[in-house]
Amino acid sequence: MAFSRYFLVTLISAFVVGGFAQLTPTFYNETCPNVTSIVRGVIEGALQTDPRITASLLRLHFHDCFVIGCDGSLLLDNTATIESEKEAGGNNNSVRGFEVVDDIKTALENACPGTVSCADILAIAAEESVNLSSGPSWTVRLGRRDSLIANRTLANENLPSPFLTLDQLKANFLKQGLNTTDLVALSGGHTFGRAQCRFFSTRLYDFNSTGSPDPSLNTTLLQTLRQICPQGGNDSAVTNLDQSTPDVFDKKYFSNLLLENGVLQTDQELYSTSGADTAPIVDAYSANQTAFFNSFVVSMIKMGNIGVLTATQGEIRSNCRKVNGDISRLSSGGLVAEY
């Protein structure tokens, strides 16, 4: 079901706090009126050869916001003075889509030089990616500026591991100002995309050092995943996070959890943890896709406000991989990513 871009304006207003009040959907109306269509066009082109790119772009926004805020710091490459977040444990050889972001930036610089921030590109790309995958649309509030720094240490600390317990996961999100409903709704982003064996293989053979598979993993899915991820096999091999509709943004992620078909431990924990207050939310979203979409939109806008730079803070990078004026950029090591 597609939603109007202005469908949730009144709902959104309930979350206007701090820097969020400084963001506005009309920020580029005069300076770059076609910004959204330009971003969408580049993503549509990338989809022709990479059906996974929409999930990857959504994940870039998430992994950017969870470190020092939604400021494009994730996009910075290594330099003599910057330790790139791309090489943090939760990102290295995992996050992908940087070349598409480069293409979007190039298109926007050609249309509106020095105007659209890389942080806003990630926010718009996330919304367009979800919508292009049959998910909801929403009004993206804009006006973020780009950081002059990255923080690999915080990336290692703040990005949620796929091996967390539910309590640890809730604490991780709460640290970012996101509540339990936000956690469940945003986890629904795993309704498309891929995961590498290294992020779930312990569930298949030696869960919590028991010598047995995770008891909350459906036995049929267990056999499927063991074929993809044999012991001693390629840890970088990938499988669909949603085995039923892998490239469609829908409620199947939640339906899968009811059947113990969550691929990642942190996904299945939302439903299989005894007494979990997240289980009723999973039930609700599994039964009602509109309820999931509405909650996802609100939580995405809320997440997109984390630690934003506005006004004269930061800068508008001309190249998303480096701060302006930096001529000493080093190679990021040719990251090979899967998601």
Active site residues: 63
Q: Does residue 314 share a domain with residue 265?
A: no
SS3 category, 195: strand
Q: Number of C-alpha atoms within 13 angstroms, CB side, residue 17?
A: 10
Q: Which band of pLDDT confidence, cut at 50, 70 and 90, is reported for residue 331?
A: very low
Mean pLDDT of 15-32: 75
| DSSP string over 263-332 | SSHHHHHHHHSTT-TTHHHHHHHHH-HHHHHHHHHHHHHHHTTTT-B-TTSSB--SBTTB-TT---PPP-
What pLDDT, on a 0 to 100 scale, did the predictor assign at position 22?
A: 84
Output the known binding site.
64, 67, 69, 71, 73, 85, 160, 190-191, 242, 245, 250
Query: Cβ(60)–Cβ(71) under 8 Å?
Result: no
> Which of 89, 151, 158 shows the shortest CA–CA distance to 303?
158
Q: Does residue 87 share a domain with residue 61?
A: yes
Q: By residue range, what is the domain housing residue 256?
A: 178-303
Token representation of residue 108: 């926007």
Which tens digit of pLDDT belongs to each residue from 228-250? 999 999 999 999 999 999 999 99
Output the known binding site for substrate.
160
What pLDDT, on a 0 to 100 scale, did the predictor assign at position 328?
A: 52
Residue located via tokens 């997440």 = 303
Check pLDDT > 80 for residue 13: no
> Which of 254, 240, 245, 83 shows the shortest CA–CA distance to 154?
83
Q: Does residue 211 share a domain with residue 93?
A: no
**Rounded to the nearest 5°, which phi and psi values hold at 328?**
-110, 20
Directed axis angle between helix 279-287 and helix 265-272, to 10°? 100
Q: Is residue 231 part of a domain?
A: yes
Residue located via tokens 């367009």 = 128
**Domain tally, the chain:** 2
Q: Is residue 9 part of a domain?
A: no
Q: Does residue 99 share a domain with residue 30?
A: yes
Query: Cβ(152)–Cβ(83) under 8 Å?
Result: yes
What pLDDT, on a 0 to 100 scale, did the predictor assign at position 16?
A: 37
Q: CA–CA separation, 255 vs 148, rounded Å?
A: 42
Which tens digit of pLDDT belongs to each residue from 111-147? 999 999 999 999 999 999 999 999 999 999 999 999 9
pTM recorded for the entire structure: 0.90
What pLDDT, on a 0 to 100 scale, did the predictor assign at position 100?
A: 98
Any idea what the CATH number is for the domain that residue 243 is in?
1.10.420.10
Mean pLDDT of 175-192: 98
Q: Does residue 288 share a domain with residue 215?
A: yes
Q: Does residue 41 share a domain with residue 136?
A: yes
Output the known binding site for Ca(2+).
64, 67, 69, 71, 73, 85, 191, 242, 245, 250
Side chain identity, residue 147? S
